[in-house]
Structure 1
Amino acid sequence: MTPLGEQFLVCGVAPVRLADQLALRAAAPLLPIKAQKPLDIGLFDLAARNQLELFG
């Protein structure tokens, strides 16, 4: 019996432990806190590749 009501365990199913939850969160990929800015300089500047008038 718990404060939320009566709970049952199904045969062959183990309850989720805190260690299992922590292992799952540790194995998850990291997500950035805020969106990354595009790198628009040098080799990675995709807008600079559209300047075809330089070669015409």
Structure 2
Amino acid sequence: MSAPAPVPLASEPTQEGEQTLVPGVRPVSQRERIEARMAAPLTPRVPQKPLNVGLFDEDARNQLDLF
């Protein structure tokens, strides 16, 4: 009884370098990456600044009244 021949490992190029894949797992295609990005909710590129003006002024709400 002999051992089965080893299955060659698949690999894919990434930004970090060549990475091997687990047997039975196929690489994620560029189309799948784009579809996942499109399905994700939009997020701002930079954190939003608070709107501390008029009705939305959180700092003014926290002030004590003078009288």
Q: In the alignment, which residue of structure 2 is the partner of 1:20? A: 32
The two structures have a TM-score, normalised by structure 1, of 0.57
RCO comparison, higher one (Cα < 8 Å, 6+):
2
Report the structure, 1 or 2, having the larger helix content.
1
Deviation beyond 3 Å, 4+ runs, structure 1:
none
Shift of 1:42: 0.8
Change (3 A) 1:9 1:51: closer
- Structure 2 gap segments, 5+ residues each: 1-7, 11-21
RMSD across aligned positions (CA): 2.4
Q: Percent identity?
A: 46
- Structure 1 gap segments, 5+ residues each: none
Instruction: String of CA shifts for 1:3-54, please: whole Å, max 9, x gaps.
Output: xx742752xx5x2322211111111222212221111111110111133324
Report the structure, 1 or 2, having the larger strand content.
2
The two structures have a TM-score, normalised by structure 2, of 0.51
